[in-house]
Amino acid sequence: MIPAGIPLRIVGDVHGDSKGFAAAAATDRFIVQLGDLVDDGPDSPATLRIMAQLLDEKRGLFILGNHDFKLARALRGDAVHGAALNRTLAELPTAQRARTYADIAAAPAWLVRGQTVFVHGGFHPSMLTTPPPPFPIGRPCPLLARALYGQTTGRVTGAGRPERLLRWVEDIPKEVTVYVGHDQRSLDGRPYIRQGRQGGTAVFLDTGAGKGGHLSWVDIDPP
């Protein structure tokens, strides 16, 4: 799905920051967006239109994020709720809904390119040898749940959000790099890089776009 031998631009969580995403997309590089296109920011419909154009022109793709997953379930008629989701649904034109559902339902939950993995929420070693599953009818399987939500404990934090762990970083094999969104770990506005005990590396690109921060991306060249 990612063209061979082409330079890439890896883009973090957009969350409706259409202006930032338009700037990121203004490149000859192939775009790999790490999921969570929608919710929170000023213009989720415009963000989805930019992504649709990249798909149509075969200039990019996006990884399935948990917010995208929730939006597609709502468009399918599942009973899902949330203030950010409700706002996105209210803003999304009827004429755009079928295309949005189709794009999200077709998005891969992770992609592997040589020694590089692209996933939204969190990595598991099985992703190196297991293709991502199709968009589920019911609850996601454990591997898809890891891809969408990362590693969770079942508890919630004082802010009322699921408690997330980064122990999965320790399981990244040596020489493997995982580009991930979902967790805003940066303290300086730059992508947060963390190395695990096996020698693998995780690069967190969520720097708060649409939520008071900004959009970040990383350009990588073919090996």
Segment 2-20 shows an average pLDDT of 96
In a domain, 3, yes or no: no
In a domain, 2, yes or no: no
Higher-confidence residue of 173 and 159: namely 173
In a domain, 28, yes or no: yes
Which pLDDT tens digit goes with each residue over 45-101? Answer: 999 999 999 999 999 999 999 999 999 999 999 999 899 999 999 999 999 999 999
pLDDT value, residue 16: 97
Q: In terms of Cα–Cα distance, which of 180, 191, 198 is closest to 214?
A: 191
In a domain, 115, yes or no: yes
Spatial distance between the Cα atoms of 122 and 32, rounded to a whole number of angstroms: 16
DSSP states of 125-176 = GGGGTSPPPPPPSSSPPHHHHHHHH-EEEEEE-TTSSEEEE-GGGGGSPTT-
| Domain that residue 169 falls in | 8-220
In a domain, 44, yes or no: yes
In a domain, 24, yes or no: yes
CATH number at residue 81: 3.60.21.10
pLDDT of 1 higher than 90: no
State the pLDDT confidence band at 159, using cuts at 50, 70 and 90: low
pLDDT of 143 higher than 70: yes
In a domain, 126, yes or no: yes
* Tally of domains in the chain: 1
State the pLDDT confidence band at 223, using cuts at 50, 70 and 90: confident
pLDDT value, residue 222: 86
Q: Which helix (H) or strand (E) holds 106?
A: helix 94-106
pLDDT value, residue 215: 97
In a domain, 1, yes or no: no
